Structure 1
Amino acid sequence: MRNNRPLLSLSHFSIRRKLLLLVSLSLFSILISTALAALLHRNDLIDARKNEIRSVVEATAGTITDLHARFTANQISHDQLIAQVRMHLDSARYRQGNYLFLLDASGQMISDAGRPELEGTDISSLTDSRGGRLLTDLLTQLGNRNEVFWHYHWAVSDDQGQLGSESAKVSYVTRIAGSNWLLGSGVHLQDIDRQLMERLLTLAILMLTLLLITLAAALIIAHNISTPIAQLCQAARRLGEGHLEGEVCGTQRRDELGTLARAVELLQSQALDALRLRKLSEHARFLEEFDPVTRLYNRQALGEALEREISRQQRYDSRLAVLVIRLVLLREITTQWGRECSNRVLNLIVERLRTHLRVDDVLARHGEDTLTLVRPEAGDDETLKALLRELLETIATPVSVDGQPFTLHGRIGVSLYPGDGDQEFQLIGRAEEALRSARRDERDWVWFNALTTSPVDQRLTLWQDIQVALEEDQFFLVFQPIFNLNSNQPVSAEVLLRWRHPQQGLISPAVFIPFAEQTGLVKRIDLWVLNAVARQLRQWSEQGLNMPRLALNLSGISFLRPDFEQLLNTAFNGDLQLLQHLELELTEGVLIEDMERIQEQIDAVRQLGVQISIDDFGTGYSSLSRIRNLDIDHIKIDRSFIDDIESSPQSCKIIEAILHLAHGLRLKVVAEGVETEAQLHELRQMGCDLVQGYLLSRPLERSDYEALLDEDLEIDADIL
């Protein structure tokens, strides 16, 4: 396709050049206009001077006519006439150097104030520089008329009366009535041209000044426009290249460029937000598959990777080994030297273990102090034993952190595909069972095929039963009321999960919850509980009951899901009124994760109106100094402190300290596990805010809890 655009287009020029071109065109237009105006103005000046000359001559002609009439009437002599005429004409000078002359038709010059030497002389033979007779030319132009504007050339005299060169002159000449006299006065055209040039010079100076001012203004305007445009182009180029941190200039301007700058700034802000969201999304995806400390696969990703390897081993009909490795003493390092130190020790050991891995090996962090190695094409037993020895020797090699030496040792549980199972959960579960046997027997490693299979078969059955229970709604909720010690009334309830098995009856949460956390089923259970609580609150709202707040204990895995906020909105259909009756209880174990990530999740959840509390406070890794920056509402003192409140002064001091510090942070404190009146009395004296326990109420099924709400029950304020 041909490009029909002209070679020279305004789009090829910068704004500065366009403004200079505009100024140049304006100047050219002004010069043309000025030239035309000057030409017209010259004619106007000539006409004005002609009118002036005519008025002067006509005014003087009356006096001369009167003098001549007196002469005719013999009132004055000829000499007196001439003297008076000359005196009168000499006094009739006007402007600078303009005068009147008087001559008769025969050529006698009666009076000429400009050239006195001509007075009384005959000028009929006087010629100009072109050789023309002046009197003849005058009489010819005058003809039979009484007046005429006479155009001729005449010498110019200066202020001292000195004659110069001739120049074009125009004179008005009129006849004096009753005589043959001719009275006239004229002006040299060069005087008009000089006056015009003076005006044009003034105008030119003014124009030049205005031009310079306009040019300076154009340069300033061009700079004011082109500089921010160049800066905006640079900002747009930076955005295009992915550099989003630079400052956008010109956003404070109030013109179109300011609007454009703010648009670029908004685009940059949106790009930054998109980048942050993308990084958060990538980080969330990373956390879904990888351990944030070691950057190894986590438990969920391990299961998926193992499932893929099992499929591949089926095609090649080879053996696969699953090694669950426990790093003994790693937890003790955490307790004594802190989480950061133990994480550094763990990373040093992981880096050493990587040197023994093959390309197709999968290494994952299985738990707090547990790693899992999946080795495809594991080889025979002797090859595996050599690998086990290498791994244990590597773990036992001392590591140093900040000059502090640490020596760990490992224990390993081994399961093999296909002999020990053909499902990922079977192989991992049986390797864990072998590891537990190794811990009990204090052995370096144990092979699962050397164990009895009944415990593992029970775990497999439990895994299957939990999935059936979720599908058939065998789970149900009970509610343990929480009482306010100031009002002595139940203000909320903790939601507890129960399982009624069709054959085995009620199964304790202490049995299936830890197992669900180990196998990854806890996310499905949490989702079931969340939906059940939402349905219950919605039902109570429709019934018009006095709505309590329900406290729900969630696992850290579910709470830290990147889509958790969406799950809440889905379960409650986005009903913010219902969400205000929900409280999420997080165990202290959640707080060992990334605090920045936890803070972001808490802030997002609280924007929905949900309250947050920390459960089992005092038994985990956190402290009030750690959670002081978290936007939470309650902390729940672990029941182990409440149990000892009557017999242990230390427990009392700890509870008092927690209450004092929590109230200083404007947090309310819940005491759980209150089972005696003495415990309740002590907590009331200490200023505890909320309590729950068997003394006040056991966990109630839905109908019983609804009846409690209808009764408006109160604690006996005078107890003890």
Structure 2
Amino acid sequence: MFRDFIEGLLNSVTSRLFPVVVLVLASLTGLWHLSRPEPAGGQALPMTAWEEPSELRRQLEQDLPYVRERLAERQAVTSTDVHRSIQPFWVSVSSNAPARGKAWAVEFPSRHAMEMRCWDEQSGQLMGEANRSMNTGQLESVRGGFALALGPERASAQLLCRASFRGPAKITATAWLAQDLQAAHAQHQKTATMIEAGLGLLAVSMALAAAINSSKLYWAFVAWLAVSLRMALLSAGADFSFFGLPLRPEWLTPIRQWTLCLYYVTTVAVYGQLFKKSLQQIGAQGLLLGQQISTLVIMGLCLVLSYEQMLPILWAASGLQFAIALPCIVLIVKRTRSRAAMWYASSLAVALLATLSEILAAAMDQKMLMGGLNSVTAALASALLASAAVAEHMRSDRRKRELAQQTLKAAYNDSPIGLFTVHEGQVIASSNPAFKAMLATVGLDGALTLNELFEPEVVLAFAALHSAGHASSFDLQARLCQPGGGEYWCAIKASTSDGRIIEGSLQDITERVRATNRLEFLVNHDPLTECLNLRGLSRKFERAQAPPRTLAYFDLDRFKLINDLYGHAAGDAVLKQVCERIRTQLGPHDLLARVGGDEFVVAFPEASMSEASQRCQNILALISSAPFQIDVQRFALSVSGGLVAAESFGGASLKEVVSAADTLCRMAKKKPTERLVVMEGGDTFFKHHKDELALISCLERGETPEGLFLLMQPELSLSRPFDSLNFEVLLRMRKPNGEIVPAPVIIEAAEAHGKSSIIDHWVVSTVIAWLEAHASQLANTQFVGVNLSGSSLNDEAFVEELFRLFERHKAAVARICIEVTETVALTDMAHMQRFIDRVRDLGVKVALDDFGAGYSSFGYLKGLSVDALKLDGSLVRDAANNPSGMAILGALGGLVSNLGMKSIGEYAENLPILKALVAAGVDYAQGYGISRPVTPERILEARSTADFIEDPEIYAFVRQLQSKDHQTIPLFPERERDPLLAGLLH
């Protein structure tokens, strides 16, 4: 507390009291100087002056007659300008004593004179010599120049003097009574003392203010005052010492040069600090920047140029600076009414008037024009007014700080956020009304300490701020310690600048925390059943940093019927009951998650495979055994599941483990009796699933998997088997180790993740390129079957790209027959018919694949204008041994023929089936009895499909078919095929 009081007192003294005291003392100094009566002046003497040639330096002192001859050639004047020459000048002066019988002296009043010697011109005797550190004989330093003392006995004097100058010197000579010169010299010394006292006091007081307030402006003004002190002494011709300590002669000229340069620099610095913001307001910040850059130029030149070279540069720069600054300040005063700008403008005006006064006085040969306003009084007045400008700036800053403190205090008291202050220790020293109201809300009141309000970790955070001892802060959320329990959350922010006083804020965030927790719950949980979702399940195991031992995936069978028949409200109620039943069979650490509409995942963190399998069987039985009751409705459900040993997947992600369990669940759905499929690490499925995951990863990146290749299975014409070479394209993939990935793995993985278009695009592009490359070797090929998946046909981007590809390769695509699965075609018949029409316009044929395996109906065949039907193996397999099957096959053969389509029978495994197909009137046969899938190279080596038959009996039967007179109409009639084939061949 004592330290704060002392700092506040010093701040008040330096910002309020010191400026007043300093201004008063400086004003008294200026008034004293102006009120002093001018001493009696000397009498100007005529003289002749001659600049000594550099080649004769130091030689002429031994040849005074030669000097007198040169001077005699000159015209007598009262003053001579040396034009900043550093060569010595010879001066001849004649004078009578101002009064008889009194001591008198001849003065050479130039502050730029460095040394001087004088001789009696008649006798040639040396009368004295002097410089700025010593004098001998009758010559001594007086005021700013030198004076030769003469006794009362001497009525006249004829002098010959040699003098050296540095700077803009003017040579003059005056005759004085000794007592008058002594009085003038005394007043000159007092003036120097008063300058040092007045400006020195200003500088010291401002240095104290700068040290306490840490202000750049104050330090800049301190430097300007120190340099102004030297400038004033230079103007008065009293800069040969520094607070009574004489300066060495060789230092004097460099000190004067640096005084002038630093005066320019510090003037720009103070001007910039005072008016930077105001100059920005009037759009003159560019001018300020130019002035600041000029200071760097001046400092650089000051290092390399001499005093005489720097003087005209400084005069020009100062004049330009004055010409720029004064209009800006006038504009600032006009716009902002700034009193600091008024004081500073007055300071510049005084300096300008003093300069004009001296110039006009010299031009009119007057001693003084404006009532004592000369360079010395101007320096004092200018410093005084500049001090007033800085004092006003300090006062203005102080006022702004006070207003800011008042505003801050009002904001502190009116803030809706609780604010409090903690001094050393744990006691809350002060707080605002909002803080007290918050504590009263939760039942806390009176003088409190931190440990009464907050939990231990918050108290430790405050203690860390105290011990830091420097600027530091923290920001955290915590609960208040309420007397009656409950939950009250707050956001706490605290900061300190020195570790002694900590300012803190307290904001009620209870509702926000509750909303955040609820939002986090919704993000990680299913809102309907309130069990975890897949994200929440993943986060559970990410935090535990360990995967579950086993994981099960369940899918309700035919649940969609409940939503379709009874509405989603009934379906939601059933899902809730399903979750309740599942939970009854789970252990305390098991986790249930809903990952789809009717799909659930159960993670068993600790259960072994046998334990988890038993729990899964219990879940299946519980869900299937008893119907679900919703109002008056009863619903019976069954469920399929897949169980995996998650530990077998090593470092695989939970998503991959869930995907494996999902695959097993889908396998369970295809089995009529086994509702739970269990997989452990050694199962063949594990290897296939790894392949599927690798394939999915590649497809997810939009890349075509490596290792894809094509096989081709021939299709036999049952009328002219030796005249055609038709086949279906089959997809395979070879792994880097040489293993072959089955086609179902590739297709199911692509379709399950919506990436089948990548596979289909590769197949179609590869087939077209192969057909174009080998057109001449495929003269007997009428059609090539290419399967397209349903998801690709529903992908508009893929379909459009497919048509662009067909447009570019019309000759090759004329051999292609696109095979579409029956179930896909029936999903949207209108869309499928539009697709068929477009591809048939390009010469492409379309076949309906797996006819008879789905929802086969003769009615829909009228709505799809396909070119062929591929009869599913289930219709063909038993036809040779089953009369009803043969009847169906015969009916289909006749129907297809009457509809103008071609028929292709699958599963032609042996001779009886092949004969049944011929008897039923089927056009083409495909199966292992004819040929297994072969490589493209084998196709190119054959002339017809019959070349692939290895069974002698089948081959003999096929030879009989070829010998018959009738033949099957080709899928591509000759009149359509010949132009296309000709195009490919050429």
Query: Structure 2 length normalisation: TM-score?
Result: 0.33
Query: Structure 1 length normalisation: TM-score?
Result: 0.44
